[in-house]
Structure 1
Amino acid sequence: MRDDNGKTILLVEDEAIIALAGKRTLEAYGYAVVSASSGEKAVIAAAGDSRIDLVLMDINLGDGIDGTEAAARILRERELPLVFLSSYTERETVEKTEGITSYGYIVKNSGETVLVAGIRMAFKLFEAKKKIQAQSDDMEAAYEEMQVANDDLLQTIEELNAANAMVDESSRLLSLSEKKYRELVESSHDIIYILSPDGIFTFVSPAWTRVLGHPLSSVIGQPFELFVHPDDVPACRACLSEAIESGRRIEDIEYRARHLDGSWRRHSSSAGPLRDESGSVIGFEGLAVDITERHLALERLRTSEERYLKAQRIGRVGNWEYDLRTDSFWGSDEAKRIYGFDPDEEGFSPDEVESRILERDRVHQALIDLIEHDAVYNLEFEIRPKGQERTRIIWSVAELHRSERGEPTLVTGVVQDITERALAQRNLIASETKYRKLIDVLPLVGARDAPGYTNG
């Protein structure tokens, strides 16, 4: 029976006739045979010919290394099945082969059946060993992978424990943050609110009730228009549309909000778009501040200022300031009118102001004396207002202000147009003088109380 398996056997035999007979026998069973007549040649052949699948090794090879040494050298370089073929059956000869990995020991002249069966068994044992080795390698690799997986699992467990700890800490901080946020919202004096895209209140803070009186239950679910003055609704709607279009927060939206008692409160609000994860607008969040008192205070201030300016116009009284740090004059509207300046102009140089004064040197010296010596500044002098030919008589008083270090910084003063009063006073003085002179000459004049008689 042929073994048509294409396997190649290295036959190591020093006796040529035996080698030739063995080669023919093996070839008859379908094996390719490579022959070597010495241990050295066998080592070289096994190392250089990759076709060799099995070594059939004689032990006694004459001169040179014997079969056991040659086998040991070959197996150090290659892993392949090796079968000893020898005529020796002595115990000591067989024991020499026990330290070498071999797949059989065949006694020469046992017959070709025994020889071929031994070779077949050697191939089967070698294949079985390779499978076992492969399985062992797979098991070892699997064990190493399991060890790595186990290490990864342990690391994952540690990371999971750490992550759980972080989650617990994050949950604690989130709970604390939510508590603080809730306390902040509930204690805020200003109204925090959230509107749906169509302007329906979905949330309002408790400040709403404190500021506007309405219970929260009567506000949530209602459109904001119910609580805003009708005249202000379009502006509020426009601001919400702008917030959507620009994607930014809109500040300082002023409107009137309806109080539960029916009165209107002034509010200033800021609002910005709320977006979901996709970026779509899902509503508005905002903050509303009650500015009623501030608005009333501004109105009172505006009224007071208007009255003050009116009083200045009626009394022809203006106020002025000279800033020593910037070397510039400031004047109220009435002060500017007195000097002929445009009320819309801001800031004047000392030369611009003093150029309108007829007695410039005297007035300037009075200002210097005030600054340098704290002298009294209380003057009456004539000016020629800008763009006018007629002169005016004015009266001015001023005081000096100093910094914390005592340095002169500012002069503030009052100026009044007293032209009519001064002229009237001058006319009165002239009239008094005239009548006094007349009275002085009266004793020289005689009065007649009858024809031809004189009372003297």
Structure 2
Amino acid sequence: MKNEAGKTILLVEDEALIAAATARTLQRFGFAVRTAPTGERAVEVVETDPDIDLVLMDIDLGPGMDGAEAARRILRIRDIPLVFHSAHTEPEVVDKTEGIGSYGYIVKNSGDTVLEASIRMAFRLWESESRFRTAFESVAVGMVLTSPDGKLLRVNQEFCSMLGYTREELAFLDFAALTHPDDVEPSRARMAALRNGDSDRARFRKRYLHKDGRVVWADLSVVLLRDSSGEPQHFVTHVQDITEELRIREELERSRAQFDLLLRTAPVSILVLQDGRYVFANPFGARLLGYGSPEEMVRVSAIDTIAEEHRSVIRERMERVAAGLPNEPIEMYILRKDGTKLLSESTSIPIVYDGRPAALILGRDMTEQKRMEERLRAAESIAHVGHYDIDLATGSAVWSEETYRIFGLDPGTFQPTMENYAELIHEEDRDAVYQEVDRCIRTGDRFDKVYRIRTVSGEYRFVHSIGRVRKDGNGAPASMVGTFQDVTETVRVEQTLRESKERLDSILKAVPAGIGIVQGPERIIREANGKLCEMTGYSREELVGASIGLLYADPEEYERVGRDKYRQIAERGYGTAEAAWRTKDGRILEIFLASAPLFSGDLSRGVTFAALDITERKRAEEAVRTLLSEKELLLRETHHRVKNNMGLIHSLLSLQAGRQGNTPARGVLEDAAARVQGMSRLYDRLYRSENFREMSLRDFLPGIVDQVRTLFNTEVDVRTELRIEDIPLPVRTLTPLGILLNELVTNSMKYAFRGRPEGRILLTAARRRDKLRITYGDDGPGLPESIDPDTSGGFGLQLCRLLSEQLGGTLNLERGRETRFVLEFPVG
């Protein structure tokens, strides 16, 4: 804009002599002057001459259009300062100028000094208001001027865009029509408090209604301006749209809840160490160290949970963490609460916990380091907005105080220019910012960009800059005006939200199970990962919004599984079940389901579930059961045939013995038949048991004694004294042991009790460390002194000796009041 001395004034005066005199006076003051004798001519000049800087308007212009009407038409054509110049002071004449945006009323013949001062004051008022209009329009937040009774006097384009209205539409509305019904009365109360003088400014949040009906949350800073008499003049309100900020915070809370859920259910040990003591433990970590709950571990000394041989190493690792350095994984022994040692793989990294340095310790079974939870503190912040005005010809700039504050600079020592401002922009963003500035200067488009700047402390902050190019009278770019807003916290929140979402998306894609979220009594699917879609054959669009009952083959099972899982969740925090699902193409899937609430204790906000396809596993289990059943049937048939064959052999030997008469051969054949019969009973006892692999001695040995006793038709009352421990042995050991015992009992029944009405058999079995000791004896006369079991040629004793050697043991004869055979052999 030109200096005042070079500005052009349009003098509207119907009296030629007065017009000439006034024009010379104005020229003497340094102004260029154009004249118009009528209102019509004045309007024409303003329309055609863009160099007119001020209009000096007479009111009484003779026939035709008067000065008041001409002023109204001129102001509709151009926003230009206008001063009335009239000899009339009558109220009815002066009243004609009411409502016209003039910058003064000069009474003619008041003197040259008054004329010059009034015109120069009008120019200064115009420039001041022009700067206000520029700031009002270019600020990156909504600006509203409101009358004391709530009418909208003036709004900027940002406010219009925020609510979806045009300026013309807002001209017919008051603040109540734009405010959410629940916030109207509280807003009126705050305005009343300002009018009553309780305060001159207020800061609060409220809800507006967008033109399309949606709610717009806003942060308001309101100042009440008063006139010189102290009467309320109008409210000046900054309106910052915070709808997106609130949405981002809600999304962040949801991601945090999901992260907390993963932390609680993760099958890894996660501990936090601070000042040498645990301040946090997840359930798995508490169980790993033998504690009943995570709370029980709080304040436990960390070094007391480390085995003595590793404590010096752990102290060094703790010092590294305190210095801000992470530690690589290490194998070490930890001490559980009961004093037992446990080998663990552990890694530790430095963190900040509750605002103080700490160590995050991750236990064994970690396949990748779980990203530590960053505790984000959300606090209300003021939207700091600063203004700038850059002269594109010289590169010099004017900054508001708030702009200096954003950069942390002192207005007294820093002179803003395009050149030194470039040094404040992050070097990675600098070229892009200036390329966008150049483009906006060429095209006239609005500048709108978020980038990083460096404050005087060296900290990098994000700013959102909005600006526009202002042109001179020739249409050439003259300056750029706009605003800076510090949006660092918003950018960081968005970045954290993106990272959290990316991590969650990565987990959902990598997990080899269908994962989804259901909500409400109808269990509506709100989220589904790719694996769930792949398993069921439905697209994500088909699943989301449908009840999960869509997937169940049986509606009754859908109801039952829902009841059981929600009951389990209420009891223990999670639920599991098996169910049959039907895919889109009609196939039946056997599914294992695990569910947990999205938000602990609040099922209404959603339940996360994981579905694992166990169809093949079920088929394999059924096949195994069928094979086992067939195997058992085949084994029992085989055992039956073996027993029949042994019975046949026994019959043949018995028949052959009967044909021998009273000869030694008959005795041999009868002994062989008895041994076969004993082996048949032994076989039947072993292989008709439920367990084909092993049997307890307490169940096995007494049966052999009883079976042999029943084979001999004798009137002797033979009592048995059995002291046998419960010792399980494999069949391969029991078989030779049973034959050996069968031989000893048979020998007793044949020779020990002849000519006696009663007799006694003793059998004991006990384990001594890694050996089994079996003692057998009877109260008969015993073996003759001439018989040595190690060298005797009798078949029975030779058989016993061979069987003891097969067992890897020894068979010894103890002579005394009663004869005892002692068998010892090793057991695993």
TM-score range relative to shorter protein? 0.3 to 0.5
TM-score (normalizing by structure 2) = 0.26
TM-score (normalizing by structure 1) = 0.44
Q: RCO (CA 8 Å, sep 6+): is it higher in 1 or 2?
A: 1
Larger Rg, first or second structure (1 or 2): 1
Specify which structure has the higher proportion of helix.
Answer: 1
